[in-house]
Amino acid sequence: MRLHDKVALVTGGTSGIGRRIVERFAEEGASVVFSGRRAGLGEEVAAATGAIFVEADVAHEADAERSIAAATAKHGRLDILVNNAGGPAPVGRIEDLPLDGFDEALAVHVRGTLAHLKHAAPVMRAQGGGSVINLGSVAGHRAGYSSSLIYGVAKAAVIHMTRCAAMELGEDSVRVNSISPGGIATGIFAKSIGMAVADAEGTVEQVKTALAKLQAVPRAGLTDDIAHAAVYLASDEAGFVNGEDIVIDGGLIWGRRFSEVMAGGHAWKTLFE
């Protein structure tokens, strides 16, 4: 019950990481409101968790304002905001990238995050504190960790926005942090190659197998890995954590696995024999 008596808003809470965060926050005692574009899934998550669903598109400022208003109208305050909503972005060589696809991706990942920050900030300032958690990505730290240049740029912007907002809102005891997942087994990989949303959600087990050998820790990342970190950042246990980005990737971005290095060394040895 680490989030007892706290009120949370989670964007993109209908599936994947967002849904698991909604579930974990509810398990930890929070009163949860979550948003998403898919009404059917939203109603399903609401029925399973007791959370309140708001049908909304994070790319629209009016929807962001309405989502935050729904939380404050129901519970009188807003202690936690998780800017989780996102999705795949266009892929391809630079000369082939659609700029309208760039605009759409930034509208969701960057504009959507800022819109929710904008409307949550005065609420949290007035009540004397709060915790904002933005979802970044390892692709926002290093090139080559997404098939989409646009996605990497968008997530880099989210991570830096986190730091900038933390320096301002921290003065009012509102903490702003981010979490950068590595390879987490969700439907986003299938969506990125154009698979229908409903079908993509059924690919998680296949994705687990594909992700298991990408990093030193020999398994795929799970939505629980991200949700547990979100619980920590949302709780009073993280009361002195501000402006941080927590990378949760099994060691993916820090280098090659030892076994790969040794195999490469053996290849060099045989080259000179």
Q: Give me the catalytic one of 151, 162, 183, 249.
A: 151
Task: Indicate the pairing of strand 80-83 with strand 52-55.
Answer: unpaired
Q: What is the CA radius of gyration of the chain?
A: 19
Q: Cα separation of 40 and 185, whole Å?
A: 22
Structure tokens at 125: 């300032």
- Cβ atoms of residues 113 and 158 within 8 Å: yes
Catalytic, 151? Answer: yes
- Give, rounded to a whole angstrom, the gap between the first and last alpha carbons of the chain: 63
DSSP state of 110: I
CB neighbourhood size of 215 (10 A)? 21
Q: What are the catalytic residues?
A: 151
